[in-house]
Chains A and B, each alone.
Chain A
Amino acid sequence: MRKSALMAVDEVNQSDEFDFAFAPHLRDPGGVVAAYHTACADLIREEHVDHIVGCYTSASRKQVIPIVERTERLLWHPARYEGFESSDNVIYVGAAPNQHVVPLVRHMLDHISDEVFCIGSNYVWTWETNRVIREIVTSAGGRILAERLLELGETAVDHIVKEIIDRKPPVVFNTLVGESSYAFMRTLHAAATRAGLTIPMLSCSLCEPELKLIGSAASVGCITSSAYFESIEGPENRAFVARWKARHGADSNLSVDGQSTYVCVMLLARAIRRAASADVGAVRRAAANHRYDSPQGPVWVDPDNNHCFLTPRLARSVPGCQFKIFWEADAPERPDPYLSNLDPMAIGTGAEKSNDAMTKRSNHLRVVK
C-alpha cells in the first residue's frame, strides 16, 4: 500500500496535469492498533497534513476517525471493509459489503450450493461477513453447516481441515486473513488431494501476492470477489501494471489494496485540482461524483455516504499466481455501506428455489402431540 501511494505521489508530482506537488509524510504504526491514534495526531499536529491516506484494518480506522473528525481532516481509506460506518471525514475507496460480499454469496447460491461451511478469523470482519452470509443463505432456504473461528494469526488448522474432510461440505467460505488463511488453504488442499475430494472455496479478500505466499498448488481454484484483479483488461490497468513492474520488478505483484491506495491518491489529486484548493471541505465537494478512469475502471465518490461507486468482479485463482475473471457487473455499483437496499429474499430464490425454500422451511415446524 505504501509503495502504491508513493508511486501515485511521484506520478502526480511529475505530471503536467497537476500544477501542485504532494509532499508525503510517512508514518508506520506497523499494525499496532493503539499506535494509529498517535501517528495520526502527530501527522496533523507536527506536519500539519490535511489529508491522510491509509489504515487497513477497521480497528486502526476507528482509532483515526475521532481525530480527523475533531480536526476536520480527511482520511482516504483504501481497504474494503464490513460497512456500517459513514463518517464525513473519511472517503471510503475500498469496497462496501454490497460490492464484494453480496455478489459472491449470490454466485454461491446460483451456481454452487446453498449449504456452506464458514471458516474465518475471530474478529469483526468475519463476524459481520458471516452474518450477511447467514441472512442471505437462510432467506434462500439454505443453511450454514458450520461456523468455525480461529484467533488472528493462528495456524493450527488440522482439526478444522479434518472436520471438513469428514463432512465434505459442498462449499467452504473462507474469511480467514493472513497466515491463518495460507496455512488453512495449504492444509486443506493437501488433505483434499489425499482424500480425492474437490471442495470449492470462496474468499472476499484473497489477492495476487497472497497466492504466491500460499504456493502455486494450494492457491489454485479459489473463487474470489474483488473490485480489482491484476488481470483486468483495459488500457488503464495494462499501463498501470506495466508502470508498477517497471518500478518494482517483473516478479512483483499488485494487490487490490495496493491498487486502491493508488486510486486514493489519484482521487485526492484530482479533487484538489478541481477545487483549486487542498481545503478539506472544498476537496470533499470536488471529489463528489467526479469520475476517475482508474486501473479498476471508472470510480467516483458517492456524496450520499462518502463511499465509492466500484465495479464488483468475481474471479478464479489460476496457476501463475493470477486470477481469471469470470464475471463483472455491467456498470459501477452504488455503495450501500449499511446494506439498507439489501433484500435477502430477492437473492438466490428462483422459481424452483422458492419451492425448495418452502419445503425446507417446513422442517422448522414441530408437530405437537
Chain B
Amino acid sequence: MTRPSPFSVRGRRALMVMRDEREIAIMRRQLNRLGMTISEHDPAEVPPPDEAVDVIVMDADAIPIKSDLATAWKATAPIIALIGTETPSRLKWLLDLQPASFLIKPLRSAGLYTALVVAFDSAQRRIDEAAYIERLEDRIRSRRVVFAAVLQVMRGHGLSEADAFTLIRQTAMRHRTTIEQLSAEIIAVGGMPNRTTRTA
C-alpha cells in the first residue's frame, strides 16, 4: 500500500473550527492556495460526529476549558491547534486533545504548510505505531502457546529449551509461517507437524 506523502496536501479536507473572522480569512486563503477543500464548524456547537476530514484546524482559545465540549473534539483526524493564550491551564486542556501540531496567533501566511505536513506525518506515525503495538500485543498473547510448543518439542525430541526454540524458529522460516502459527500447529498435532513434503 502506498501511503500519501505528508508533503502533498492538495485535495485533502480541512475542517476549520475558528471564531475570529480575520483569522478565518487568512486560513481560508492559505488552504485554498494549497489546493485543500474546506469546511467550517462553529466552535460553540457540539462537535460533528465522525466528520470525514483529514485535518482539523482548531482555535484553542475559542472553546471554554470547563465545558463538556472540551475533550469531545478528541477525534481520529489530526488537530492543528491555533494558540493565543499560553497559560498552563489552557495548554493542559490542549495536551488532552493530543494536537498533531500547532500555530501561534496572530496567523501569518507562513507556517501553515509546516503545520499541515507535521500533522499529516504525525497522524501517519500514530497509525503505524498503533498497528505495530497491536502486532506486539498479539505476540504477547501467543507467548503461552509458543511456550507450550517449546515444552512439547523439548520432551518429544529430547532437546534443550534453546535448541527446541531454534528448531521451531527454523521450521517456521522454512514453512514461511510465523513462530506463533507453527506453535499452534505443534500443540494441535501433539508434535512437530510433518510438512517436509510441502513446499511453501
A contacts, CB < 8 Å to B: 65, 69, 84-88, 304-305, 337-338, 340-341
Contacts and interface: CB of A to CB of B under 8 A. Distances in A.
Contacts of A341: 10, 35
B113 A305 contact: no
Nearest to B30: A86
Interface in B67-113: 108-110, 113
Given A86-B30, A304-B32, A338-B113, A69 B9 contact: no
Contacts of B34: 338, 340
Contacts of B10: 340-341
B8 interface: yes
Leading 9 A-B pairs by shortest Cβ distance: A340-B10, A340-B35, A87-B109, A305-B33, A86-B109, A340-B34, A88-B109, A86-B33, A338-B34
Nearest to B108: A69
Q: Is the interface of A mostly helix, strand, loop or mixed?
A: loop
Contacts of B30: 86
A85 B110 contact: yes
Contacts, number: 29
Nearest to B8: A340
A65 B109 CA distance: 11
Given A86-B109, A87-B108, A340-B10, 13 more contacts: A65-B110, A85-B109, A86-B30, A86-B33, A87-B110, A88-B109, A304-B33, A305-B33, A338-B34, A340-B8, A340-B33, A341-B10, A341-B35
Contacts of A65: 110
A340 B7 CA distance: 9
A65 B108 CA distance: 11
Contacts of A304: 32-33
A88 B33 CA distance: 12
18 contacts: A65-B110, A69-B108, A84-B113, A85-B109, A86-B30, A86-B33, A86-B109, A87-B109, A304-B33, A338-B9, A338-B33, A338-B35, A338-B113, A340-B9, A340-B33, A340-B34, A340-B35, A341-B10
Nearest to A89: B109
A148 to B, nearest CB: 24
Contacts of A85: 109-110
Nearest to B176: A368
A69 B26 CA distance: 13
Interface in B1-46: 8-10, 30, 32-35
A305 B34 CA distance: 10
Contacts of A338: 9, 33-35, 113
Q: Which of A69, A88, A337, A340 has the most CB of B within 10 A?
A: A340
